[in-house]
Amino acid sequence: MLAVAASCRDTVAPEPKTSDLDKAHQLWRAQNLHTYAFTLQRSCFCANTHRLFVFVASDTVAGVLDLETLESVDPHLGQTVDDLFAFIQDAIDRPAQLIHAEYDAAKGFPTVIDYDGAAQIADDEISFRASDVHPISPPPG
């Protein structure tokens, strides 16, 4: 029985895919985007899991629009692409029970992140889906 339990743990342990992460992060940095917008959705046992339109100015979340209600929401609900990369790296370093990430082939940003910190802890799972990253012009002034 112990052998079965140990083998199950091995099948869900995170695979340190640091080479995928590093390649994607290099591709993202090559885009040289510091002011951009994108769509982000997180699934978790947390507040606001609606699709969000995130505005990033000079590498800082400047505004977040809830795409379901079309209302502005707390900027802390948004993340930058660099925040998403940091989340993945942190999960690999811990290591998390599960970390799975996929990256945009053209721009390198994470498109899918699935995370489970520990199998024995309920409600620590979170998933992110990011899409439509595009540059925006900084506001005048």
- Whole-number pLDDT of residue 90: 92
Is the per-residue pLDDT at 6 higher than 60? Answer: no
Domain assignment present for 27 = yes
Domain assignment present for 11 = no
- Whole-number pLDDT of residue 139: 61
Is the per-residue pLDDT at 51 higher than 50? Answer: yes
What pLDDT digit, counting tens, does each position of 113-125 carry?
A: 998 877 666 677 8
Domain assignment present for 42 = yes
Backbone angles phi, psi at 66, to 5 degrees: -75, 115
- Whole-number pLDDT of residue 116: 84
Q: 129 vs 50, which has greater pLDDT?
A: 129
Domain region containing 70: 20-135
- Whole-number pLDDT of residue 18: 75
Domain assignment present for 88 = yes
- Whole-number pLDDT of residue 140: 66
Contact 104, 133 (CB under 8 A): yes
- Whole-number pLDDT of residue 96: 87
Domain count along the chain: 1
Domain assignment present for 114 = yes
Is the per-residue pLDDT at 41 higher than 80? Answer: yes
C-alpha to C-alpha distance for 127 and 101, rounded to whole angstroms:
10
C-alpha to C-alpha distance for 52 and 71, rounded to whole angstroms:
10
